[in-house]
Structure 1
Amino acid sequence: MLSGFYQGEIDLEISVVFNSIISLFIMIAVGFYSRKRDIITEEMCKGLVNILIQIALPFMIFTSFLNIQSSSVRENVIKTIYYSLGAYVLMGASSYLLLLPVKNDKKTVLHFANIFVNTGYVGFPILDSLYGPEGIIYGSIFNMFFVIFVWTYGVILYKGRLGGGELLQEIKRTLLNPSILAVCVGLLVMFLNIKIPEVLISASKGIGNLTVPLSMMIIGSTLSKVKLNTYLREWSIYYGALIKLIIIPMIV
């Protein structure tokens, strides 16, 4: 009888995951269709990206920290900081070693792609669908390190060594990133038990809820303009995909 109960629980979880993924793909399809029909233009797509990154996603991150009372979540936040830092160090070292056979200019591009995966467009909608606000909290902390490293190490990969003025500018850009500010404010609210007026919570959640449909439609819009034939002929793309999607996740 107990085995039947647990099997029912597993089936229910699989059903929830499956329905969530199908829902995301439908949104991607809508974005794909809208771009093909020029309902979403190139300029409009750029505007949607700005709304997503500058407004919707930060609000989604901030609201995930509200009403968190569990001490275990607070402990896990500290652990996530260490794990995220360790993950990026491992990804960087593994990618560097595994890409030694690649000798052309694509090495830098593949190294960048292996380390800096898109945690915003795809990651947060999936986390929200599967794990809810708690998943967003952990994901936002991981994304914070993404922003820090992409505007420091990522810039160095393409530009070379940064001067003092350039480094200061990149650090300033990082600290003023809306997603990082949202994480910092959210952590303060959570650890200090600051009470936020209900009207602000409601408005923030409403804006944050734009994140999932916006990000999926942007992905669909972007995919509609991708010419796969250009990339399918290059062996380094397959090798890079193997490293990024299989080898590095197994190591990390």
Structure 2
Amino acid sequence: MTIFMSSISGILIILVMVLIGYVLAERQWFNDEAASLIARLVTQIGLPCYMIQTIISKFSADDLRKMLPQLRFPALSMFLLLVLALAIGQLFRIKKSHRGLFTSMFFNSNTVFVGLPINQALFGDTSITYVLIYYMCNTLFFWTIGVYLIQRDGRAGQDFDWKTNLKKLFSPPLYGFMIGIVLVLLKIKLPQFLMTDLTYIGNITIPLSMIFIGLSISKAGLGKLQFGKDNLLILLGRFMLAPLLMALIVMPTTMPLLMKQVFVIQSAMPVMTNAPVIARLYGADSDYAAIMVTETTLATVLVVPLLVVLLN
């Protein structure tokens, strides 16, 4: 019961910030430009600083050398989920105009905007590097295979631009992660004033991420929520198949228990918030993607406490 209440408390911390974002959006505090600005502040400024400061302050070179090879576990999980999603799409006859988007949302998870603050609330700062290891894999899969699958649904006829998507793969958060890793491995210490700046700027990441999720839920509209076949199958994939598959992969290994817990929680995060944006860009069904972001984000509130109990 103590573990369950602790996980509920962690989720409530996140939920209050999401609710603030939702209420402010409903009161017309933000337009589309403001929402885009918040996303840019988080991904291009706050998160890179957060990653550099956290990695430098929390981990040694020996710690990182032991952890980075664990990338193979989330990579294996995502590949198997991709295969499962393709098979389920065929078996349940997901309509062709949704099949690529369905597959992408099935096997990719929101590892930063939701995964990062939830893991920090549940497990503390020690979990951050494990979160970022999963993030590296998830980013690679989404901006290559995931975007390609969404593009196939599109009706606008745009060509898939590998060069552009590879640039997005090497995003500011990933650069922040890489810079932090290099500084630790080379044992380079930054001046104290710079570390303080990184801490202050990085601290905007979690609250602004949650406010952004609240804005996204408001924009999608709670009245548009539905539970058709496509929706239920994505919920099944995100919250049952993905964590079960990850647990089966990592539990027999000798990796630290906290890393196992973080990987399982990360695998059960909601649909990527980028999915509606990419769907709109390529002429796919962006409304369908926005609804799934909303439904899976709300479902996370119920799923995560149960997962935490099962993992302890």
Question: Which of the five TM-score ranges fits, normalised by the shorter chain?
Answer: 0.7 to 0.9
User: Is the 2:19–2:211 contact (alpha carbons within 8 Å) kept by the matching residues of 1?
Assistant: yes
Structure-2 residue corresponding to 1:40: 30
What aligned pairs does 1:198-213 form with structure 2 within 5 A after superposition? 198-213=192-207
- Does 1 or 2 have the higher relative contact order (CA < 8 Å, sep 6+)? 1
- In the alignment, is the contact (CA less than 8 A) between 1:52 and 1:215 conserved in 2? yes
Q: 2:98 aligns with which of 100, 106, 117?
A: 106
Shift of 1:233: 5.1
Which residue number corresponds to residue 167 of structure 1?
Answer: 162
Partner of 2:117: 125
**Closer, same or farther: CA 192–64 of 1 in aligned 2, 3 Å:** same
Please state if 1:197 is matched with 2:197: no
Question: Partner amino acid for 1:102?
Answer: R
Choose 59-68 or 69-78, whichever is displaced more.
69-78
Partner of 1:226: 220
Change (3 A) 1:235 1:206: same
Say if 1:92 and 1:115, in contact at 8 Å, map to a contact too.
yes
Question: Between Structure 1 and Structure 2, how many residues are aligned?
Answer: 238
Deviation at 1:199, TM superposition (A): 0.8
Q: Quick one: distance in 2 between partners of 1:58 and 1:127?
A: 17
Query: Which residue does the alignment assign to 1:151?
Result: 143
Which segments of 5 or more consecutive residues in structure 2 lack a partner in the other structure?
153-158, 247-312
Q: Distance in 2 between matches of 1:237 and 1:251?
A: 20
Q: Please state how far the C-alpha of 1:183 moved relative to its aligned partner.
A: 1.2
Contact 1:80 1:142 in 2 (8 A): no
| Residues 94 and 230 in structure 2, CA contact (< 8 A), matched pair in contact too | no
* CA apart distance, 1:73: 3.0
Contact kept? 2:13, 2:121, Cα under 8 Å: no
TM-score (norm 1): 0.84
Cα distance in 2, alignment partners of residues 165 and 113 from structure 1: 18
Residue aligned with 2:52, SS: helix
Task: Quote how far apart the aligned CAs of 1:60 are.
Answer: 1.3
Which amino acid in 2 is paired with 1:135?
S
CA distance in 1: counterparts of 2:59 and 2:219, whole angstroms: 45
Partners of 1:240 and 1:69 lie apart in 2 by 36
Equivalent residue for 1:86, pick from 58, 68, 76: 76
1:84 Cα deviation from its structure 2 partner: 2.4
Q: Which position in structure 2 is the counterpart of 1:7?
A: none
Q: CA deviation at 1:178?
A: 0.4
Output the amino acid matched with 2:100: T
Distance 1:103 1:224 in 2: 27
TM-score (norm. length: structure 2): 0.69
Identical positions, percent:
22
Q: What's the secondary structure of 2:30's corresponding residue?
A: coil
* Matched letter for residue 34 of structure 2: M
Question: Which moved further from structure 2: 197-206 or 17-26?
Answer: 17-26
Q: What value does the CA root-mean-square deviation take over the aligned residues?
A: 2.4
**Counterpart code for 1:129:** A
- The 3 A distance-change label for structure 1 pair 33 and 96 is same
